[in-house]
Amino acid sequence: MSEFTSLHGQTLFAPPGSEWYHDNDGGVFHSYYSGDTIILGITCRSVTRKAYTYPTTPWKINDLPTLYFYNNSDTVFVYNYFFNRFTPLYVFNVHDGDTLTLPILPNDAEFLIWPFAPPHPDSFFSFIVDSVRLVLYDTATLKTIYTHSIGTGTSFVYKYGYDTLGKYIEKIGCISIGLIPRCSLMAIFWICLCEIKGRFVVMEIPTLQFT
């Protein structure tokens, strides 16, 4: 279950007032615009992600690291901790049948299980655009990109949904699993580790130099 509010009809992704709620097996992640900053000379928007654990959940869900976004007319970029630079996250100047290859991203599961995460075999992930549609969400008609992932059972397959099918939406992003695509093999490793460790741990993010 996901919700979004305060789009204001703006062309910016994650403008002031934006917030998202993403359901988790044991609670809810509340993401919200928390200010502007400058990274690598680029003005970007900060999105804080707070975790709320359900009372019946036997473990604690930790907050996720802050995300940093900026966008141009057709692409949303996110600060990528793997490469220490901004890389594409949501690309909208696409057509039915296009294949996109983007730099891999730190997965939310990796933020929770670091330093136990296995190394990534590749520097990129790929997916196919199944269709591009204008869809009505509440009172706003927004471009929606429907995708399916490319990969094998032993590769790190990134998905914009819970299964190999997914979508992302202008002004909103990915509403089903969180703002960052899910890495399927990493998610399996994460579940196994949590069963062994019986708890979540948090990745230590390197300090960013803001100017």
Mean of pLDDT over the chain: 77
Q: Are 156 and 188 in contact (CB under 8 A)?
A: no
Q: Are 88 and 108 in contact (CB under 8 A)?
A: no
User: Residue 4 pLDDT more than 60?
Assistant: no
User: Residue 71 pLDDT more than 90?
Assistant: yes
d(CA 165, CA 162): 7
pLDDT tens readout for residues 83-133: 899 999 999 999 999 999 998 887 765 444 444 444 454 578 889 999 999
Element (H, E) at 43: strand 42-53
For residue 193, what pLDDT is reported? Answer: 36
d(CA 7, CA 42): 22
User: Residue 77 pLDDT more than 70?
Assistant: yes
**Once rounded to an integer, what is the mean pLDDT over residues 168-187?**
80
For residue 54, what pLDDT is reported? Answer: 92
For residue 164, what pLDDT is reported? Answer: 66
Find all residues with CB under 8 Å of 11, minimum gap 6, and list them. Answer: 73, 171
**Once rounded to an integer, what is the mean pLDDT over residues 160-175?**
84
User: Residue 3 pLDDT more than 50?
Assistant: no
User: Residue 189 pLDDT more than 50?
Assistant: no
How would you label 25-46 residue by residue, b for 16+ Cβ within 10 Å and e otherwise? ebbbbbbbbbeebebeeeebbb
For residue 190, what pLDDT is reported? Answer: 37
User: Residue 199 pLDDT more than 60?
Assistant: no
pTM of the model: 0.78
For residue 25, what pLDDT is reported? Answer: 77
Q: What is the DSSP secondary structure assignment for residue 18, as one 8-state letter?
A: -
**Once rounded to an integer, what is the mean pLDDT over residues 146-151?**
86
pLDDT tens readout for residues 24-57: 778 899 999 999 999 999 999 999 999 999 999 8
User: Residue 208 pLDDT more than 60?
Assistant: no
Query: Which segments within 54-95 are labelled E, that is strand?
Result: 64-71, 75-80, 85-91
Q: Between these two residues, 68 and 189, which has the higher pLDDT value?
A: 68
d(CA 170, CA 160): 14
